[in-house]
Amino acid sequence: CYFCNDMNAPADSLAFRTLDQQCTVTRPGLSGLSSSTAVELIAALVQHPDGFAAPYGPQTKQSCLGVVPHQVRGYVADYRLSPAETEPFKNCICCSQGVMERYEEEGLEFIARIVTNSAELEKISGLQAMQAAVREDDVLAFDEFDDF
Protein backbone atom coordinates (compact mmCIF):
# COMPACT_ATOMS: atom_id res chain seq x y z
CA CYS A 1 0.00 0.00 0.00
CA TYR A 2 1.34 3.44 -0.92
CA PHE A 3 0.25 4.85 2.45
CA CYS A 4 2.02 2.17 4.52
CA ASN A 5 5.07 4.45 4.35
CA ASP A 6 3.26 7.48 5.79
CA MET A 7 3.37 8.52 9.41
CA ASN A 8 0.68 11.23 9.11
CA ALA A 9 -2.82 11.56 7.78
CA PRO A 10 -3.04 13.17 4.33
CA ALA A 11 -3.16 16.95 4.30
CA ASP A 12 -3.44 19.70 1.71
CA SER A 13 -0.15 19.47 -0.20
CA LEU A 14 -0.97 22.33 -2.56
CA ALA A 15 -1.98 25.32 -0.42
CA PHE A 16 0.67 27.94 0.23
CA ARG A 17 3.39 26.09 -1.70
CA THR A 18 5.29 27.05 -4.80
CA LEU A 19 4.95 24.78 -7.83
CA ASP A 20 8.30 23.06 -7.19
CA GLN A 21 7.22 22.18 -3.62
CA GLN A 22 3.96 20.55 -4.66
CA CYS A 23 3.42 16.86 -5.20
CA THR A 24 4.97 15.63 -8.44
CA VAL A 25 1.63 14.68 -9.97
CA THR A 26 0.64 18.36 -9.96
CA ARG A 27 3.68 19.49 -11.92
CA PRO A 28 2.90 20.35 -15.54
CA GLY A 29 3.50 17.45 -17.89
CA LEU A 30 3.82 14.80 -15.21
CA SER A 31 0.15 14.36 -14.48
CA GLY A 32 -0.31 12.49 -17.77
CA LEU A 33 2.58 10.17 -16.98
CA SER A 34 1.30 9.56 -13.45
CA SER A 35 -2.27 8.90 -14.52
CA SER A 36 -1.23 6.53 -17.31
CA THR A 37 0.95 4.57 -14.86
CA ALA A 38 -1.97 4.40 -12.42
CA VAL A 39 -4.23 3.05 -15.18
CA GLU A 40 -1.67 0.33 -15.97
CA LEU A 41 -1.47 -0.64 -12.28
CA ILE A 42 -5.26 -0.84 -12.01
CA ALA A 43 -5.45 -2.93 -15.20
CA ALA A 44 -2.82 -5.35 -13.84
CA LEU A 45 -4.67 -5.64 -10.50
CA VAL A 46 -8.03 -6.25 -12.17
CA GLN A 47 -6.48 -9.03 -14.27
CA HIS A 48 -4.60 -10.65 -11.34
CA PRO A 49 -6.11 -13.87 -9.87
CA ASP A 50 -5.97 -12.28 -6.37
CA GLY A 51 -7.36 -8.94 -7.53
CA PHE A 52 -6.53 -5.99 -5.31
CA ALA A 53 -4.94 -8.36 -2.74
CA ALA A 54 -2.21 -9.27 -5.26
CA PRO A 55 1.21 -9.82 -3.67
CA TYR A 56 4.35 -8.35 -5.19
CA GLY A 57 7.47 -10.19 -6.17
CA PRO A 58 8.94 -12.12 -9.06
CA GLN A 59 8.22 -15.45 -7.29
CA THR A 60 4.48 -14.75 -6.85
CA LYS A 61 1.56 -15.35 -9.18
CA GLN A 62 1.47 -12.78 -11.93
CA SER A 63 -1.33 -11.08 -13.74
CA CYS A 64 -1.57 -11.73 -17.46
CA LEU A 65 -0.01 -8.26 -17.64
CA GLY A 66 3.00 -9.25 -15.49
CA VAL A 67 4.11 -8.56 -11.93
CA VAL A 68 2.00 -6.04 -10.00
CA PRO A 69 4.20 -3.68 -7.96
CA HIS A 70 2.94 -2.12 -4.72
CA GLN A 71 3.94 1.28 -6.02
CA VAL A 72 5.93 2.86 -8.82
CA ARG A 73 8.45 5.62 -8.15
CA GLY A 74 9.36 7.96 -10.96
CA TYR A 75 12.67 9.76 -11.47
CA VAL A 76 12.36 12.59 -13.96
CA ALA A 77 16.11 13.37 -13.98
CA ASP A 78 16.85 10.12 -15.84
CA TYR A 79 13.33 9.31 -17.14
CA ARG A 80 13.06 6.13 -15.11
CA LEU A 81 10.20 4.32 -13.38
CA SER A 82 11.05 1.84 -10.61
CA PRO A 83 8.63 -0.62 -9.02
CA ALA A 84 8.77 -0.74 -5.22
CA GLU A 85 7.71 -3.28 -2.62
CA THR A 86 6.67 -2.21 0.85
CA GLU A 87 5.89 -4.14 4.00
CA PRO A 88 2.38 -3.72 5.40
CA PHE A 89 2.24 -1.28 8.33
CA LYS A 90 -0.21 -2.30 11.05
CA ASN A 91 -1.11 1.36 11.71
CA CYS A 92 -1.52 2.35 8.06
CA ILE A 93 -3.97 5.21 7.51
CA CYS A 94 -5.34 3.40 4.46
CA CYS A 95 -5.23 -0.39 4.84
CA SER A 96 -4.99 -1.02 8.61
CA GLN A 97 -7.61 -3.26 10.14
CA GLY A 98 -9.27 -0.38 12.02
CA VAL A 99 -9.64 1.75 8.91
CA MET A 100 -10.91 -1.14 6.78
CA GLU A 101 -13.48 -2.16 9.42
CA ARG A 102 -14.73 1.41 9.80
CA TYR A 103 -15.11 1.74 6.03
CA GLU A 104 -17.04 -1.54 5.83
CA GLU A 105 -19.37 -0.38 8.64
CA GLU A 106 -19.96 3.20 7.52
CA GLY A 107 -19.19 3.26 3.78
CA LEU A 108 -19.47 6.61 2.04
CA GLU A 109 -20.35 8.45 5.26
CA PHE A 110 -16.91 7.48 6.56
CA ILE A 111 -15.24 8.74 3.37
CA ALA A 112 -17.12 12.05 3.51
CA ARG A 113 -16.11 12.56 7.15
CA ILE A 114 -12.45 11.74 6.46
CA VAL A 115 -12.31 14.12 3.50
CA THR A 116 -13.25 16.98 5.84
CA ASN A 117 -11.09 15.77 8.77
CA SER A 118 -8.31 13.42 7.72
CA ALA A 119 -6.70 13.59 11.19
CA GLU A 120 -9.39 11.13 12.31
CA LEU A 121 -7.50 8.46 10.35
CA GLU A 122 -4.57 8.75 12.76
CA LYS A 123 -6.85 7.89 15.67
CA ILE A 124 -8.71 5.04 13.93
CA SER A 125 -5.55 3.42 12.58
CA GLY A 126 -3.71 3.57 15.91
CA LEU A 127 -1.05 5.87 14.47
CA GLN A 128 -1.89 8.61 16.99
CA ALA A 129 -1.33 6.23 19.95
CA MET A 130 1.92 4.97 18.43
CA GLN A 131 3.21 8.54 17.96
CA ALA A 132 2.23 9.42 21.54
CA ALA A 133 4.15 6.41 22.86
CA VAL A 134 7.43 7.53 21.28
CA ARG A 135 9.72 9.13 23.84
CA GLU A 136 11.95 11.97 22.69
CA ASP A 137 15.09 10.28 24.00
CA ASP A 138 14.31 7.24 21.79
CA VAL A 139 14.53 9.33 18.61
CA LEU A 140 17.79 9.88 16.77
CA ALA A 141 17.96 12.89 14.45
CA PHE A 142 20.59 13.32 11.75
CA ASP A 143 21.39 16.01 9.24
CA GLU A 144 23.84 16.49 6.39
CA PHE A 145 26.56 17.78 8.76
CA ASP A 146 26.76 14.59 10.86
CA ASP A 147 29.78 12.34 10.37
CA PHE A 148 29.29 8.59 10.44
Catalytic residues: 23
For residues 67 and 56, give the distance between their C-alpha atoms in angstroms, rounded to a whole number: 7
> 47, 64 in Cβ contact below 8 A?
yes
Phi, psi of 119 (to 5 degrees): -60, -25
